């Protein structure tokens, strides 16, 4: 049973009870309608409370209904019934009243809440807009500007803030139901106070407000469809009577639902929920206790990693080889915090608290009590070997020993210790204090509770942990190889760096692939390429970068790479020197430069990545295709509204088309990564999608 009706004297309570989060399923919608009918028919009932059992008010739509048409009665019907109801209705809010749940509350006359409740309209995160009156009621209740902000961000609003805005009438302590019933009793007999009857005055916003909002949101929510439709809906609230406004909202909702972005964003929503489900890791496996952490190496990564723990209030010991290294590392951390403080996002006191949680040291003795040690020293096995042998001697029994290596084998590293079951990879992405991805690399002998602890740590420091198998480059960097080399080859074959980068940025990437090379430093990989046979495509692809390195153009750090970077400016400027290097290198390789279309740029960069992704899946290095999408969304800024590279291949291109294109590029350019993955061949032959890959 999803609901019941209770009469408490002259107040009727419509109870919703649909564990775990009171999602608004068909049965809940029926229960709401039945409750209203019963309360309406009973003349002894003077006012009504809508309350929810369990830990929350209705937390939103029933996500199992997403993949089909909504079963009747729809939520708008419930809301219409609330509008047509004759007695005052009070919503009793606790937990999270999100989406449809908050829209039900908005259709009530009053809202009372516990102080720790949250409300919000997060539909934008699924590429949608509130489609059950939220866009018309919230502006009437709190004003156009705050309502627009709430719906475009989709972020939760704590009850005290919502109270201050006027969205909640009363904050109550203690027994919520009792308080809501008492509140309803006070209002019994009084006429209804429907939000729909409030009018927004014509001058609710300054002239030009909506055009300005559209411009601002186009920048903040680049390429996104639904935030702009939210502006349209709120404009309707400000300019039309209520009923035509609702009609407009419904039309705009359908436009959003039909737009491919909403399917992609829903995929991301489900992918995020899947990613923490680890086959073969039973929920009885409990993480090890974690109170303190140590980091070895205070360089680019070590410093950023230390900040994550300090931000979460977890003490960190930071070890370097010498005082100079420590001072430099701590200096960068302080500068980062101070820059955040300068933006008003941290107080001076918080900066000091966080710095105070980081203890610098030159001695391994200081690590003896750490529950988790993360190594972030130079990327060579010799250095890692020394570090892990020492850790094996000094770390306490049961401490987890993690490496942030990008490419080296976790099993080899684990072999440097007498406790390989305590070793795993924790691969952060640069900048480590910003990027949300954490690849958790499971070694052949990593203990289940060590894996569980790393995933738990990821949550505690607000990262998304994705489990990867132990293979060169794990998931993200392995797929990236195809992407980066295609970018370089396209430049040799005829595209300019800016053409390649602009195509990718237009697609939605935060920066182009060559700009990314400049940011990371073109010297990375220089030495390894020098050892290769120049006839290999790896060496050919790297030839331009190698020449740039030899000219001292290492990327942003030398203010010149594929682009020029004038001092104090990180905006790339096309360079004549580079154009010449490209032409000479192409001529040297006997390449006839040609015009290259935007479509070819996108297909080659992303298909190279996707075909490698198929191999990652086939080899069992990742558990599911959607995990690869999560890696790209959170580690590399792939646009969420495209769903991730694997989703893009399956839903924008189609797997049969992807396979055909791979064969075509293979015929033109040789095998490279164009030999289709057997997994892709099989899926296409069987008419299946990535969800059925494993």
Contacts with ligand NAD, residue ranges (CB under 6 A): 296-302, 319-321, 325, 376-379, 383, 386-387, 404-406, 427-428, 430
Distance of closest approach, residue 212 Cβ to ligand NAD, in angstroms: 38
- CB 364 to ligand NAD: min, Å: 9
Three-class SS state of 446: coil
Question: Distance between CA 306 and CA 293 in Å, rounded?
Answer: 9
Contact at 8 Å (CB) between 639 and 268? no
Report, in Å, the least distance between residue 397 CB and ligand NAD.
Answer: 22
Nearest to 296 by CA among 390, 398, 382, 422: 390
Distance spanning both ends of the chain, measured CA to CA: 37
Show the tokens assigned to 181: 């019933």
CB of 332 to ligand NAD, least distance (A): 10
Active site residue 123: yes
Least Å from the CB of residue 381 to ligand NAD? 10
Q: For residues 130 and 425, which CB has a smaller minimum distance to ligand NAD in the complex?
A: 425
Cβ proximity to ligand NAD: between 159 and 400 the closer is: 400
Q: Least CB distance from residue 412 to ligand NAD, whole Å?
A: 13
Which are the contacts of 152, defined by CB distance < 8 A and separation ≥ 6? 124, 217, 221, 227, 230, 231
The rounded distance, in Å, linking the Cα atoms of 408 and 424 is: 12
Residue with Cβ nearer ligand NAD (325 or 644)? 325
Minimum CB separation of residue 241 from ligand NAD in Å reads 56
Q: How many CA atoms lie within 13 A of 351 on its CB side?
A: 19
19: tokens are 């564990």
Nearer to ligand NAD, 302 or 525 (CB): 302
User: Which residues, 6+ apart, have CB-to-CB distance to 140 below 8 Å?
Assistant: 195, 196, 198, 199, 200, 237
Q: Which is nearer to ligand NAD, 404 or 499 (CB)?
A: 404
Beta bridge pairs of residue 294: 317, 373
Task: Determine the length of the chain.
Answer: 694
Q: CB-based burial of residue 174 (10 Å sphere; 0-12 exposed, 13-18 middle, 19+ buried)?
A: exposed
Which among 94, 22, 50, 59 has a CA at the least distance from the CA of 183? Answer: 50
Q: CB 516 → ligand NAD: shortest distance, Å? A: 11
Which residue lies nearer to ligand NAD by CB, 66 or 526? 526
Nearer to ligand NAD, 61 or 441 (CB): 441
Q: What are phi and psi of 424, to 5 degrees?
A: -160, 175
Nearest to 357 by CA among 432, 291, 442: 291
The string of DSSP codes covering 251-286 is: HHHHHHHHSHHHHHHHHHHHHHHHTT--TT--TTPP
Which of these, 232, 234, 226, lies nearest to 264 by C-alpha position? Answer: 226
Cα(641)–Cα(264) distance, integer angstroms: 5
Q: Which is nearer to ligand NAD, 153 or 558 (CB)?
A: 558
Smallest gap from residue 500 Cβ to ligand NAD (A): 21
Instruction: Write down the least CB distance from residue 403 to ligand NAD, Å.
Output: 7
Task: Give the nearer residue to ligand NAD in terms of CB position, either 364 or 537.
Answer: 364
Q: Cα separation of 110 and 149, whole Å?
A: 22
Residue 52 phi/psi, 5° resolution? -125, 140
Q: How far is the CB of 629 from ligand NAD (least distance, A)?
A: 20
What residues are paired with 424 via a beta bridge?
402
Measured from the CB of residue 508, what is the shortest distance to ligand NAD in angstroms?
22
Helix segments in 144-277, DSSP class H: 144-153, 159-165, 176-187, 209-220, 226-239, 242-258, 260-274
Separation CA 61–CA 196 (nearest Å)? 22
CA–CA gap between residue 292 and residue 295 (Å, rounded)? 10
Pairing of strands 3-8, 11-16: antiparallel
> Could you tell me the strand order of the sheet in which 96-98 lies?
96-98, 118-120, 157-158
Q: DSSP secondary-structure letter at 640?
A: G
Tokens 């480059």 appear where? Answer: 473
DSSP output for 310-368: HHTT--EEEE-SSHHHHHHHHHHHHHHHHHHHHTTSS-HHHHHHHHHTEEEES-GGGGT
Residue whose CB is nearest to ligand NAD in the complex, by number? 299
- Shorter beta-carbon distance to ligand NAD: residue 427 or 661: 427
Instruction: Give the nearer residue to ligand NAD in terms of CB position, either 423 or 655.
Output: 423
Token pair in block for residue 461: 């420091």
Select which of 65, 123, 481, 603 is catalytic: 123
- Give catalytic status of residue 103 as yes or no: yes
* Active-site residue, from 77, 103, 145, 324: 103
At 38, list the tokens.
Answer: 């019963």
Residue closer to ligand NAD by CB (options 323, 597) is 323
The catalytic site residues sit at 103, 123
């Amino acid at each position: 049973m999803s609901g019941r009706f209770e009469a408490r004297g002259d107040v009727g309570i419509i109870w919703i009870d649909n564990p775990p989060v009171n999602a608004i399923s068909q049965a809940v919608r029926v229960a709401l309608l039945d409750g209203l009918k019963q309360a309406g028919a009973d003349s002894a009932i003077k006012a009504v409370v809508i309350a929810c059992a369990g830990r929350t008010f209705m937390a939103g739509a029933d996500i199992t209904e997403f993949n089909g048409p909504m079963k009747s009665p729809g939520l708008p019907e419930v809301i219409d019934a609330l509008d047509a109801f004759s007695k005052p209705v009070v919503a009793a809010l606790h937990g999270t009243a999100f989406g449809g749940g908050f829209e039900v509350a908005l259709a009530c006359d009053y809202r009372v809440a516990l102080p720790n409740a949250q409300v919000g309209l997060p539909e934008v995160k699924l590429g949608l807009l509130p489609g059950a009156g939220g866009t018309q009621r919230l502006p009437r209740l709190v004003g156009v500007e705050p309502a627009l902000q709430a719906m475009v961000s989709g972020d939760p609003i704590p009850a005290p803030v919502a109270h201050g805005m006027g969205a909640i009438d009363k904050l109550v302590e203690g027994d919520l139901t009792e308080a809501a019933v008492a509140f309803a009793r006070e209002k019994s007999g009084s006429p209804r106070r429907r939000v729909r009857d409030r009018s927004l005055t014509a001058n609710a916003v300054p002239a030009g407000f909506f055009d300005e909002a559209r411009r601002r949101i186009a920048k903040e929510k680049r390429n996104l469809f639904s935030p702009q439709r939210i502006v349209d809906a709120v404009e309707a609230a400000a300019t039309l009577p209520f009923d035509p406004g609702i009609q407009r909202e419904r039309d705009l909702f359908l436009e959003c639902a039909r737009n491919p972005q909403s399917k992609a964003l829903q995929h991301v929503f489900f992918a995020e929920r899947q990613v923490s489900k680890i086959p073969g890791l039973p929920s009885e496996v409990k993480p090890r206790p974690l109170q303190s952490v140590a980091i070895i190496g205070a360089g680019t990564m070590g410093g950023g990693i230390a900040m994550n723990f300090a931000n979460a209030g977890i003490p960190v010991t930071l070890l370097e080889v010498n005082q100079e290294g420590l001072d430099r590392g701590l200096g960068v951390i302080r500068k980062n915090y101070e820059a955040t403080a300068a933006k008003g996002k941290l107080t001076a006191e918080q900066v000091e608290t966080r710095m105070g949680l980081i203890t610098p040291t030159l001695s391994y003795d200081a690590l003896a009590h750490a529950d988790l040690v993360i190594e972030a020293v130079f990327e060579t096995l010799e250095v890692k070997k020394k570090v892990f042998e020492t850790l094996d001697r000094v770390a306490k029994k049961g401490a987890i020993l993690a490496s942030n290596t990008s490419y080296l084998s976790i099993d080899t590293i684990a072999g440097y210790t007498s406790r390989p079951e305590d070793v795993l990879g924790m691969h952060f992405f640069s900048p480590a204090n910003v990027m949300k991805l954490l690849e958790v690399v499971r070694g052949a002998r990593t203990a289940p509770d060590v894996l569980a602890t790393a995933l738990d740590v990821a949550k505690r420091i607000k990262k998304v942990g994705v489990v990867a198998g132990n293979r060169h480059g794990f998931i993200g960097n392995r797929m990236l190889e195809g992407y980066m080399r295609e970018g370089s080859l396209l430049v040799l074959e005829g595209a300019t760096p800016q053409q390649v980068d602009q195509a990718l940025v237009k697609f939605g990437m935060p920066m182009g692939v060559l700009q990314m090379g400049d940011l990371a430093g073109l010297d990375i990989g220089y030495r390894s390429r020098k050892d290769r046979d120049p006839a290999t495509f790896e060496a050919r692809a790297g030839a331009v970068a190698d020449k740039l390195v030899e000219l001292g153009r290492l990327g942003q750090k030398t203010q010149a790479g594929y682009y020029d970077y004038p001092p104090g400016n990180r905006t790339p400027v096309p360079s004549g020197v580079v154009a010449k290097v490209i032409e000479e290198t192409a001529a040297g390789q006997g390449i006839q430069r040609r015009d290259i279309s935007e479509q070819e740029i996108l297909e080659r960069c992303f298909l190279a990545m996707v075909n490698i992704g198929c191999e990652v899946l086939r080899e069992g290095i990742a558990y599911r295709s959607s995990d690869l999408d999560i890696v790209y969304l959170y580690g590399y800024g792939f646009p969420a509204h495209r769903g991730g590279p694997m989703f893009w291949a399956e839903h924008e291109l189609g797997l049969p088309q992807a396979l055909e294109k791979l064969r075509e590029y293979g015929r033109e350019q040789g095998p490279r990564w164009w030999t289709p993955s057997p997994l892709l061949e099989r899926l296409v032959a069987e008419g299946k999608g990535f969800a059925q890959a494993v």
